[in-house]
């Protein structure tokens, strides 16, 4: 049995994950720990699995790269060499050809374009030594182009990669077996395909904050467009902040090429937390928060935060359905803006649902570990008072600043500009939500708690900072319209006797019942309740969209009128 391999360097032994390369690139995760001596990408051997031909494994099939008449193993197949030097070889040197099928013995394997890189390679890698017959077909270079249908059938040997002395065939050129591996002095940034370097070689990144621009506490630009627009890491124009294109081929034209990469690889930006950085990285100071006194106090805080996550998720969903359905709009610009705004708000709402789940996971983890004196969860109530700031452009003020936190009643409102500003205020970095989780995080850093719980709380805080940028970006997009009626349908909560509204509420309560059952045990092996809840969520979404078309919204809870300024009295919660 192979003994466990322990990391020896200080970085890998750190008690927490350090800023920089992701966990998959740490020493204890390196491929060398599993496969010592792996100095080449053995998939490159199968590029020449058929003597005299060179292939490439792609997302759309196994493509023929070229014919190699200098292949030393062709000397053992005079007939095949003659075909490749003659008419068949001439065909294959022109146009684009892909592998259609492989036959060995009585078995024929179809190599279709939808198999993907990994499956097609595994099928070829599993071939036995001996005679094989392959069929290649001509294919258009570009989608939509037409070429005459044609096939070429060849019979030859499945290459044996090493001879009797154990030496790899000289058919492979120097560097060919390692050309897709990761050495900075090679073409690794351009061609890496071995799947472990790619963890810290991003395809797209977020741009560095330009000099003089305002930043958030995270170091990200305050401008939401700069904060969230992905750019191509391999771009040749290093000053460009143009958005990355949707496909690899579309980005390829503006990227550093093979020769250039050998001269400029040191110019590529260092990436920390998904964002490029050219200067000295300034470690952000941790949120200044005092730990809670006991695990029971921590659970009480988590119960409260879960109800707040639930409330804002429902507010966000209601507001999203108040936006017009893009399918009912004729103005192309408005169609695009509505599609974007609805998508971004849905992402935030789903993220809040995930936070609700994580808060409950923290609760049941503390209960299962025997760290609390009673059971606190599940927490699926709805907080009826949402914290607000006196200045809506800034976050709510937190203790120890004297005075109570001001609140507003939870309410279901269309996405008017002031409503969107309310959402931005509650999601402001260092605002109420992530500020309260900072206290949770400070508590979970104490030694009595499992380390994994601290990481979960940190993920909630990191997600919340992204919510702020997304809402700010929605604000930028919708601000161009002089009247909100351009993009809003004026929905009001459906009356209690409305059939569609009642059907939507029934679905919502079924979802809560499934989540209650799932969160009560916290058993990750039993996902049946979660799966049913997700299925019901799709049904609820369809029903909410139908209601909105009739200018009604789902009455998730009964909105309360605005109350006088709050004192220190504990706010009420609507559990259903």
Tell me the backbone φ, ψ of residue 98, rounded to 5 degrees. Answer: -125, 150
| CB contact at 8 A, 345 and 477 | no
Does the pLDDT at position 400 exceed 50?
A: no
Closest to 84 measured CA to CA, from 159, 152, 172: 152
pTM over 0.75: no
Mean pLDDT of the chain: 80
Please indicate whether residue 163 or residue 72 has the higher confidence score (pLDDT). 72
Q: Which of 11-15, 246-250, 252-256, 361-365 has the highest mean pLDDT?
A: 361-365
Does the pLDDT at position 219 exceed 80?
A: no
Per-residue model confidence (pLDDT) at position 265: 75
Does the pLDDT at position 402 exceed 60?
A: no
Per-residue model confidence (pLDDT) at position 134: 95
Please indicate whether residue 246 or residue 430 has the higher confidence score (pLDDT). 246
What residues contact 89, with CB distance under 8 A and at least 6 apart? 67, 69, 83
Binned at pLDDT 50, 70 and 90, residue 571 comes out as very low
Across 104-128, b (16+ Cβ under 10 Å) vs e yields: beeeebebeeebebeebbebbeebe
Per-residue model confidence (pLDDT) at position 508: 96
Does the pLDDT at position 393 exceed 60?
A: no
Q: Which of 182-186, 430-434, 505-509, 519-523 has the highest mean pLDDT?
A: 505-509
Q: Do you find a cis peptide bond into 400, omega within 30 degrees of 0?
A: yes
Closest to 330 measured CA to CA, from 490, 486, 544, 548: 486
Does the pLDDT at position 218 exceed 80?
A: no
In angstroms, what CA-CA distances link 6 with 11, 26, 28, 38?
A: 12, 12, 7, 19
What residues contact 9, with CB distance under 8 A and at least 6 apart? 27
Does the pLDDT at position 425 exceed 60?
A: yes
Long-range contacts of 107-112 (CB under 8 A, 24+ apart): 111/61, 111/62, 112/61
Per-residue model confidence (pLDDT) at position 123: 92
Does the pLDDT at position 240 exceed 80?
A: yes
Determine which of 185-194, 236-245, 322-331, 507-516 has the lowest per-residue pLDDT on average.
Answer: 185-194
| CB contact at 8 A, 360 and 378 | yes
Count CA atoms closer than 13 A to 111's CA, side-chain side.
Answer: 31
User: For the residues of 265-333, what is the DSSP string, one character each?
Assistant: GGGSPEEETTEEE-S---PPPPP--PPPSSHHHHHHHHHHHHHHHHHHHHHHHHHHHHBPPGGG---HH
Determine which of 155-159, 428-432, 484-488, 530-534 has the lowest per-residue pLDDT on average.
Answer: 428-432
Domain boundaries, the chain: 1-38, 42-158, 188-277, 295-574
Per-residue model confidence (pLDDT) at position 469: 83
Closest to 464 measured CA to CA, from 294, 285, 316, 342: 316
Does the pLDDT at position 532 exceed 70?
A: yes
Tell me the C-alpha distance between 497 and 488, whole Å. Answer: 25
Which run of H or of E encompasses 91?
helix 87-92
Task: Look at residue 205 and give its three-state secondary structure.
Answer: strand
Per-residue model confidence (pLDDT) at position 390: 58
pLDDT tens for each residue of 360-381:
999 999 998 899 988 898 999 9
Which run of H or of E encompasses 432?
helix 432-444
In 92-213, DSSP assigns E strands to 96-104, 107-110, 130-139, 151-158, 204-206
Closest to 209 measured CA to CA, from 287, 273, 288, 285: 273
| CB contact at 8 A, 420 and 470 | no
pLDDT tens for each residue of 171-194:
888 778 777 765 544 455 666 554
Binned at pLDDT 50, 70 and 90, residue 404 comes out as low
| CB contact at 8 A, 206 and 231 | yes
Closest to 457 measured CA to CA, from 358, 351, 349, 352: 358
Tell me the C-alpha distance between 508 and 493, whole Å. Answer: 14
Strand 96-104, strand 107-110: pairing = antiparallel
pLDDT tens for each residue of 276-287:
887 776 665 555
Does the pLDDT at position 337 exceed 80?
A: yes
Does the pLDDT at position 311 exceed 70?
A: yes
Section 102-112 average pLDDT: 91
């Amino acid at each position: 049995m192979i003994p466990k391999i322990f990391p020896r360097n200080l970085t890998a032994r750190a008690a927490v994950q350090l800023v920089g390369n992701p966990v998959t690139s740490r020493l204890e995760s390196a491929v060398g720990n599993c496969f010592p001596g792996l100095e080449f990408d053995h998939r490159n051997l199968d590029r020449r699995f058929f003597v005299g031909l060179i292939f490439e494994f792609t997302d759309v099939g196994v493509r023929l790269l070229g014919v190699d008449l200098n292949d030393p193993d062709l000397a053992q197949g005079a007939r095949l060499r003659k075909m490749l030097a003659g008419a068949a070889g001439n065909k294959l040197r022109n146009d684009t050809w892909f592998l259609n099928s492989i036959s060995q013995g009585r078995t024929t394997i179809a190599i279709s374009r939808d198999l993907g890189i990994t499956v097609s390679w595994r099928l070829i890698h599993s071939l036995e030594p001996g005679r094989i017959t392959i069929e290649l077909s001509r294919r258009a270079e570009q989608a939509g182009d037409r070429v005459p249908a044609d096939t070429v059938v060849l019979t030859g040997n499945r290459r044996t990669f090493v001879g009797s002395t154990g030496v790899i065939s000289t058919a492979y050129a120097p560097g060919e077996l390692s050309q897709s591996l990761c050495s900075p002095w090679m073409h690794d940034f351009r061609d890496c395909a071995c799947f472990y370097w790619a963890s810290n070689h991003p395809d797209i990144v977020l741009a560095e904050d330009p000099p003089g621009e305002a930043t958030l506490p995270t170091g990200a630009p305050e401008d939401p467009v700069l904060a969230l627009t992905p750019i191509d890491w391999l771009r040749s124009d290093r000053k460009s902040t143009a958005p990355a294109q949707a496909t690899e081929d579309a980005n390829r034209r503006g990227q550093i090429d093979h020769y250039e990469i050998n001269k400029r690889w040191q110019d590529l930006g260092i990436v920390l937390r998904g964002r490029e950085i050219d200067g000295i990285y300034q470690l952000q100071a941790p949120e200044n928060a005092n730990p809670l006194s006991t695990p029971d106090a921590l659970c009480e805080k988590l119960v409260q935060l879960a109800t707040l996550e639930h409330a804002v998720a429902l507010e966000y969903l209601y507001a999203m359905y108040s936006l017009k359905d893009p399918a009912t709009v004729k103005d192309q610009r408005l169609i695009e803006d509505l599609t974007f705004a609805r998508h971004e708000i849905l992402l935030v709402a789903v993220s809040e649902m995930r936070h609700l789940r994580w808060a409950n996971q923290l609760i049941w983890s503390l209960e299962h570990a025997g760290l609390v004196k009673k059971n606190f969860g599940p927490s699926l109530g709805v907080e009826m008072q949402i914290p607000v700031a006196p200045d809506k452009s800034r976050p709510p003020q937190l203790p120890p600043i004297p005075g109570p936190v001001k609140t507003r009643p939870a309410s279901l409102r269309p996405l008017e500009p002031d409503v969107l500003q309310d959402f931005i205020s509650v999601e402001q970095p260092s605002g109420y939500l992530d500020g309260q989780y900072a206290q949770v995080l400070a508590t979970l850093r104490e030694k009595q708690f499992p380390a994994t719980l601290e990481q979960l709380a940190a993920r909630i805080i990191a997600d919340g900072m992204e919510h702020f940028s997304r809402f700010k970006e929605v604000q930028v997009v919708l601000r161009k319209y002089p009247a909100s009626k351009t993009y809003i349908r004026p929905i009001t909560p459906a009356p209690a006797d409305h059939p569609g509204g009642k059907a939507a509420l029934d679905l919502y309560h079924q979802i809560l019942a499934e989540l209650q059952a799932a969160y009560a045990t916290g058993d990750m092996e039993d996902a049946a309740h979660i799966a049913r809840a997700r299925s019901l969520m799709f049904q609820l979404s369809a029903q909410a969209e139908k209601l909105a078309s009739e200018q009604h919204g789902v009455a998730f809870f009964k909105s309360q009128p605005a109350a006088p300024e709050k004192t220190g009295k504990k706010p009420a919660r609507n559990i259903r």
